[in-house]
Amino acid sequence: MNNQIHQKTVSLVAALLAVGMAVLGLGLSALPASAEEIPDAEITLSTSSIVTRQWDQVNLTCEWSVPDNSQPGDTFTLQLPPELRWFGAATFDLDTPDGQRVATATANDAGQVVFTLTDFVALHPLNVGGTCSFVTQYSVDPAIGGTKELSFVFGDSVVRVPVSIEPCTENCLPEVPTTAGKSMWWADPAQSELQSILYMPPMASANNDVVVTDVPAAGMVIDCSRVTPRVGKVRGEAGNIVEPYDNEQYPATIECTPQSLKVSWTGLPQGEHVELFVMTKVSDPSLDVYENNGTVTISGEENQVGAQMRRSHASGTGQGTAAATPIPSTSTSTSPATPIPSTSSPAVVVLPAEPTEPAWTKTPAPSATAEQLANTGAQGQAFFFLAAALLAVGSLLAFAGARKHRHRSH
């Protein structure tokens, strides 16, 4: 009796294990293939930019490709050289002409750009590749002219790109301004802030009142905590006022809101230079062009000033080819067609040509490696086999228990 109960228990445990293995197998078979770094991706880079000073823009273009049958989620990585820093939007798409996304690219603050394939490559696994273009800044002072070779790290390899360096050697200092004006530039690589300077010629008379207004256009707001007025007689190499400043002697009066700024000085003597630095934040990042206008009034004479800055964009293209699909044969008979005899010449029987093997069947499919099987649901199949084996063991034990019980009952 105890032996019969024991066999029933074993068979029940085996059946439960079989069900659990089957469920686990279903789950594993449904898992997608794991994403990985693409070791054989290829990229070429080029630039026609000429660097003359630090923070000049270096525009780069590329052509990229990945091996056939790369998977969605697979990546390849490009690391900028230390001479360059990323400049512009942190992410961009690489699309087909009809707008299908083939890959996305994401750049971080350290200058690493990661390209990630999308689901597009699952249906178009062949000839996957495209182009890209992006903007960087030359982050070091180019003291020596010539050709500089920049080294980009791409996966396990290095891509070297020459760039022309032509630093200024004669008459490099900016001239003293003769009229009021305004300049503006991006203050950060992410292009979320703009800095501008309103400048003017040195004071021409013995006593001068100066009023500067600044009004940003839509998409920008003034950061009132970062408005910097400067007064002084000494100009540096960049053409701006440098220490010693005369700010305490001729203090500025500042009236600021996010939408407008007014700064005024009174009693500025002849020969004093005046500058106003203004930081604005981007409130609408969707715009391509940002504009900032204002006025500079010196001793009652008003001058209109303005500046605009265009956002730089990174972009790319992608493409891929769908795998060939075999066309099934529609023939249902192997007998040759009956020829129709000609009435003017002896009958000639034309037999159908021997069927040939389609070209797509002549290339043997690559055998799956253990790692591929591990990533494509092979675990699920293995668990199904194990479940079937356990179910069979349970059935045999139950059958044996039933026979023994019948034998004892007789």
| Coil, strand or helix at 153 | strand
111: left (phi over 0), alpha (psi -120 to 50) or beta: left
**Do the Cβ atoms of 401 and 11 come closer than 8 Å?**
yes
Residue with tokens 């439960």: 16
Supply the pLDDT for residue 376: 39
Options 2.60.34.10, 2.60.40.1280, 3.40.710.10, 1.20.140.10; CATH for 42-168 is 2.60.40.1280
**Cα-based distances in Å from 277 to 195, 218, 297, 298, 396:** 7, 20, 16, 17, 88
Distance from C-alpha of 105 to C-alpha of 91, rounded to nearest angstrom: 6
Residue with tokens 């000033």: 305
For the whole model, what pTM was predicted?
Answer: 0.68
By CB atoms closer than 10 A (0-12, 13-18, 19+), residue 157 is exposed
> Per-residue pLDDT for the chain (410 aa), expressed as one digit of tens each?
545 545 555 455 444 444 454 444 444 444 445 568 999 999 999 999 999 999 999 999 999 999 999 999 999 999 999 999 999 989 999 999 999 999 999 999 999 999 999 999 999 999 999 999 999 999 999 988 999 999 999 999 999 999 999 998 887 778 889 999 999 999 999 999 999 999 999 999 999 999 999 999 999 999 999 999 999 999 988 889 999 999 999 999 999 999 999 999 999 999 999 999 999 999 999 999 999 999 999 999 999 999 999 999 999 999 999 987 665 555 444 444 444 344 333 333 333 333 333 333 333 333 333 333 334 344 444 444 444 554 554 555 455 555 554 444 44
Give the bridge partners for 134, in sequence order: 60
| DSSP-derived pairing of the beta strands 75-79 and 84-87 | unpaired
Q: Which is nearest to 173 in space by CA: 264, 99, 112, 234?
A: 234
By CB atoms closer than 10 A (0-12, 13-18, 19+), residue 410 is exposed
Supply the pLDDT for residue 396: 52
By CB atoms closer than 10 A (0-12, 13-18, 19+), residue 297 is middle
Instruction: Please report the DSSP string for 71-125 in residue order.
Output: -TT-EEEEE--TTEEEES-SEEEEE-TTS-EEEEEEE-TTSEEEEEE-THHHH--
Q: Provide the H-helix boundaries in 100-238.
A: 120-123
The 3-class SS string of 253-283 reads EEEEECCEEEEEEEEECCCCEEEEEEEEEEC
Sheet with 181-186: strands ordered across: 181-186, 193-199, 273-282, 220-232
Give the bridge partners for 281, in sequence order: 193, 221
Residue with tokens 């087909």: 96
**Do the Cβ atoms of 234 and 282 come closer than 8 Å?**
no
Supply the pLDDT for residue 19: 44
Q: Provide the H-helix boundaries in 95-242.
A: 120-123
Options 3.40.50.980, 3.30.70.870, 2.60.40.2430, 3.40.190.10; CATH for 181-309 is 2.60.40.2430
CA dihedral 316, 76, 66, 35 (to 10 degrees): -120
Distance from C-alpha of 256 to C-alpha of 349, rounded to nearest angstrom: 99
Distance from C-alpha of 410 to C-alpha of 55, rounded to nearest angstrom: 100
Distance from C-alpha of 258 to C-alpha of 265, rounded to nearest angstrom: 21
**Do the Cβ atoms of 112 and 78 come closer than 8 Å?**
yes
